[in-house]
């Protein structure tokens, strides 16, 4: 229970997750948990070559196997349309012809009475290929190169002249491997048809977007498709698109004339729902002896799919982090026979800032300047590309408070100069930026005679705490205790919300929820204002306060307690009242939005074994107004753990001849576990950002950005070895 005084400070409070109990008791239902009557099971068959054509498929054995309902291949699949994605074009629809463009491409789906029957029958499908020599290497001269497809290359000044005039040059090549999103929850889709009405439970980061994609694929009006995702077991970007297996689950349900459940295996998660593309990045910095960076040249190359599009813009942060007059930032995509990459936590910035911030560290060494001091010397007081002011920026405070908390002053500059017994100790740091997106969003708030407010929006909560934070925002706006508010999401029939991605949902949704709830309060007050019997008689919404479930005139003394929402409904014989709210990023401000952070890492390196341990980590984050420090800190901790994995453990390894992923299991693809993750100290700095009425920026991506370079720079400080290729492994250090 929350008292009135607590309710007054609900936004910004360390509220426990409102959905925590349902998660730990198993009551929360994830997409795979819905057991529909008459449910059948689908299992995918995937190509075992990366390029060519299917010459022959023998499906008779599978079709006649016990329990099998249908086997779908390109020979019997209907034509499906390609959907526009929520962000860019959607993936090509599956099973449309005999071509194979990547290893692990879905080439058939087997539907049976039980999962075991479907899995057994899937193994009976025999495929002969007419194989072609796959394009698997970024340097393959046969591969098509895509120049600035997304229009995100950035230039200013004259880089060649800037470099020519520089007194110090640092030039290096950094590489990052493919890394796979690997949420714990296996992606699942349950599809059922009722005539031409399609209902889908799916692991998506945006039910409204999945609905649009499915509607286009099957040629249905959007109103004929409903997508549900009340809980999603993580996604890290993998759920931002409607992937072919989702379409296949719906197709299987239609062709089997039964509800169908399709759950990807862990191995299939590596080829079916995207991954962070590997990158090769050339970075050249030109500087004066005084530390002023005068030119930055950042060129990145990464693969993309042959018949799909994903472009990870590696230089977005490079363009804005420092006040540098001459800059060239370009990312090229090379079309290969690979599964399509996708957004993975901190897309663009996570690998891009690794290269930039390692290069800055190399420059600091070259100049004999402290790494924090070097960054302060190049601080961008205004947006360096547009010259416009920032809507808010507290990166200086991130450096100062982070360095202070970390004890950066104890660092002795020379590599190998700090030890703990026989272990080498290193301190490293990095800046972080993320260019978040705030898309339009809607919410609807209702309040009935039971005094319970229900607020709805078609958003998702893939883990950051959206249920909790939106409950806080709604309770605060309506003056209700937390337990009198229920926030609901994850249903495409609710008011449309943007994808939970790009660090933008909290800003968009909290603004819409706040607006809907304040509008609902106004509706109640307007109704009561007309009744002489009401203590709110003659009041406007500006004349009242709402707290602990009561609306009171502001001029009232304690003796005039106002009345409850239920009192008003009762007097007017109404069951409930509702109101809608919408939000959009402010366009009237002449300012640039941005999220900033400074990351500090301490590592210990065993000089004999090359083993790296992260001992301490401090993340100082300017995320604007923080609605719940507890869930926000959890998000930064999670992102830091992902960054530790990125720095030291994670790499998706493909066979260079066949394109087959060689380590598609959790025993071979290493994610950071508890033993790899030290105590992480999270500090929030900064002020509410004026881009939205709530003042939120968003912290989902900036959580991981800068972690890997802070660790890599600490490894250099510990060992004197500059490792420019992630992950930093024992083999590289020995």
Specify whether the CB–CB gap between 157 and 164 falls below 8 A: no
Is the previous residue joined to 708 through a cis bond, with omega within 30 degrees of 0? no
Instruction: Kindly state the smallest distance separating residue 316's Cβ from ligand MOS, in Å.
Output: 13
Instruction: Kindly state the smallest distance separating residue 499's Cβ from ligand MOS, in Å.
Output: 7
Interaction between residue 345 and ligand MOS (CB under 6 A): yes
Q: Closest CB to ligand MOS among 236 and 487?
A: 236
Torsion 281-282-286-290 (CA) sign: positive
Give, in order, the Cα–Cα distances in Å from 519 to each of 10, 302, 527: 19, 47, 12
- Quick check: helix, strand or coil at residue 420? strand
Q: Closest CB to ligand MOS among 435 and 481?
A: 435
d(CA 190, CA 42): 10
Structure tokens at 677: 């993750």
**Under rule CB under 6 A, how many of the chain's residues touch ligand MOS?**
10
Site pattern 189..218 for ligand MOS (x: CB under 6 A): ----------------x-------------
Instruction: Kindly state the smallest distance separating residue 343's Cβ from ligand MOS, in Å.
Output: 4
Contact partners, residue 72, CB within 8 Å, separation at least 6: 95, 108, 109, 110, 111, 248, 251, 252, 255
d(CA 72, CA 42): 10
Instruction: Kindly state the smallest distance separating residue 601's Cβ from ligand MOS, in Å.
Output: 22
**Active-site residue flag, 602:** no
Instruction: Kindly state the smallest distance separating residue 203's Cβ from ligand MOS, in Å.
Output: 12
Instruction: Kindly state the smallest distance separating residue 503's Cβ from ligand MOS, in Å.
Output: 7
Q: Closest CB to ligand MOS among 202 and 548?
A: 202
Interaction between residue 434 and ligand MOS (CB under 6 A): no
Q: Which of 362, 592, 650, 701 is catalytic?
A: 701
Q: Closest CB to ligand MOS among 233 and 659?
A: 233
Site pattern 325..344 for ligand MOS (x: CB under 6 A): ------------------xx
Instruction: Kindly state the smallest distance separating residue 209's Cβ from ligand MOS, in Å.
Output: 12
Q: Which of 240, 619, 626, 627 is the binder for ligand MOS (CB under 6 A)?
A: 240
Interaction between residue 274 and ligand MOS (CB under 6 A): no
Interaction between residue 501 and ligand MOS (CB under 6 A): yes
Q: Closest CB to ligand MOS among 345 and 383?
A: 345
Q: Closest CB to ligand MOS among 179 and 534?
A: 179
d(CA 152, CA 331): 8
Q: Which of 347, 535, 593, 639 is the binder for ligand MOS (CB under 6 A)?
A: 347
Q: Which of 52, 93, 230, 237 is the binder for ligand MOS (CB under 6 A)?
A: 237
> 29: how many CB neighbours lie within 10 A of its CB?
14
Q: Taking Cα atoms as reference points, which of 159, 174, 177, 149 lies closest to residue 329?
A: 159
Specify whether the CB–CB gap between 699 and 635 falls below 8 A: yes
β partners of residue 595? 434
Q: Closest CB to ligand MOS among 239 and 727?
A: 239
Q: Taking Cα atoms as reference points, which of 2, 642, 656, 710 lies closest to residue 344?
A: 642
Interaction between residue 277 and ligand MOS (CB under 6 A): no
Structure tokens at 389: 């002011």
d(CA 191, CA 44): 15
Count of alpha carbons within 13 angstroms of residue 293, beta-carbon side: 36
Specify whether the CB–CB gap between 424 and 479 falls below 8 A: no
Catalytic residues: 701
Please report, as ranges, the residues that interact with ligand MOS according to CB under 6 A.
Answer: 205, 236-237, 240, 343-345, 347, 501-502
């Amino acid at each position: 229970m929350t008292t009135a005084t607590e309710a007054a400070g609900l936004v910004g409070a360390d509220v426990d997750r409102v959905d925590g109990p349902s998660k730990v008791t198993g009551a929360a239902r994830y997409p795979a948990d819905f057991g529909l009557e008459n449910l059948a099971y689908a299992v995918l068959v995937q190509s075992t070559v990366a390029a060519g054509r299917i010459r022959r498929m023998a499906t008779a054995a599978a079709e006649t196997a016990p329990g099998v309902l249908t086997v779908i291949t390109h020979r019997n699949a209907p034509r499906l349309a390609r959907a526009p994605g929520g962000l860019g074009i959607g993936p090509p629809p599956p099973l449309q012809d005999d071509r194979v463009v990547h290893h692990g491409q879905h080439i058939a789906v087997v539907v049976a009475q039980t999962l075991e029957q479907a899995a057994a029958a899937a193994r009976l499908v025999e495929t002969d290929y007419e194989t072609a020599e796959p394009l698997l290497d970024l340097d393959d001269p046969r591969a098509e190169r895509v120049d600035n497809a997304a229009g995100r290359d950035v230039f200013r000044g004259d880089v060649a002249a800037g470099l020519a005039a520089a007194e110090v040059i640092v030039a290096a090549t950094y590489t990052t491997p493919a890394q796979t999103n690997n949420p714990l929850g296996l992606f699942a889709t349950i599809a059922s048809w009722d005539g031409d009405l399609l209902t889908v439970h799916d692991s998506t980061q945006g039910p409204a977007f999945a609905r649009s994609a499915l509607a286009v694929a099957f040629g249905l009006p959007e109103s004929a498709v409903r997508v549900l995702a009340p809980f999603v077991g993580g996604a890290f970007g993998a759920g931002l698109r409607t992937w072919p297996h989702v379409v296949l689950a719906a197709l299987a349900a239609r062709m089997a004339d039964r509800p169908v459940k399709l759950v990807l295996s862990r191995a299939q998660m590596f080829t079916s729902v995207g991954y962070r593309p590997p990158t090769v990045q050339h970075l050249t910095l030109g500087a004066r002896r005084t530390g002023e960076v005068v030119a930055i040249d950042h060129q990145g190359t990464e693969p993309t799919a042959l018949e799909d599009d994903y472009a990870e813009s590696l230089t977005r942060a490079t363009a804005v982090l420092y006040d540098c007059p001459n800059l060239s930032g370009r990312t090229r995509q090379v079309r290969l026979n690979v599964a399509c990459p996708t957004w993975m936590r901190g897309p663009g910035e996570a690998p891009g800032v690794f290269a930039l911030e390692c290069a800055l560290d190399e420059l600091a060494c070259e100049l004999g300047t402290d790494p924090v001091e070097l960054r302060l010397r190049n601080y961008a007081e205004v947006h360096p590309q547009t010259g416009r002011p920032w809507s808010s920026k507290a990166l200086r405070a991130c450096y100062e408070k982070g360095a202070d908390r970390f004890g950066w002053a104890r660092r002795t500059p020379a590599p190998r100069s700090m030890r703990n017994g026989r272990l080498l100790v290193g301190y490293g740091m990095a800046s972080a930026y993320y260019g978040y997106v705030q898309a339009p969003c809607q919410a609807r708030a209702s309040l009935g005679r039971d005094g319970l407010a229900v607020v709805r929006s078609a958003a998702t909560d893939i883990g950051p705490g959206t249920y909790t934070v939106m409950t806080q925002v709604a309770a605060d706006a309506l003056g209700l205790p937390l337990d009198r508010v229920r926030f609901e999401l994850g249903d495409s029939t609710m008011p449309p919300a943007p994808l939970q991605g790009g660090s933008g949902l909290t800003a968009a949704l909290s603004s819409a929820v706040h607006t809907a709830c304040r509008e609902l309060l106004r509706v109640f007050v307007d109704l009561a204002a007309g009744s002489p019997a009401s203590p709110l008689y003659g009041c406007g919404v500006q004349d009242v306060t709402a707290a602990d479930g009561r609306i009171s005139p502001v001029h009232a003394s304690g003796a005039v307690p106002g009345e409850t929402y239920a009192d008003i409904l009762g007097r007017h014989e109404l069951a409930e009242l509702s109101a809608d709210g919408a939000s959009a990023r402010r366009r009237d401000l002449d300012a640039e939005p941005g999220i900033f952070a400074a990351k500090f890492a301490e590592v210990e390196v065993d000089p004999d074994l090359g083993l790296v341990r992260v001992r301490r980590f401090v993340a100082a984050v300017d995320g604007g107004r923080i609605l719940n420090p507890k869930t926000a800190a959890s998000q930064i901790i999670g992102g830091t753990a992902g960054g530790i994995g990125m720095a030291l453990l994670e790499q998706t390894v493909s066979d260079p001849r066949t394109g087959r992923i060689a380590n598609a299991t959790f025993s071979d693809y290493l994610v950071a576990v508890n033993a790899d993750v030290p105590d992480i100290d999270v500090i929030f700095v900064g002020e509410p950002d004026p881009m939205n009425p709530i003042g939120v920026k968003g912290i989902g991506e900036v959580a991981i950005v800068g972690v890997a370079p802070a660790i890599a720079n600490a490894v250099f400080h510990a060992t004197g070895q500059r490792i420019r290729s992630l992950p930093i492994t024992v083999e590289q250090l020995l």
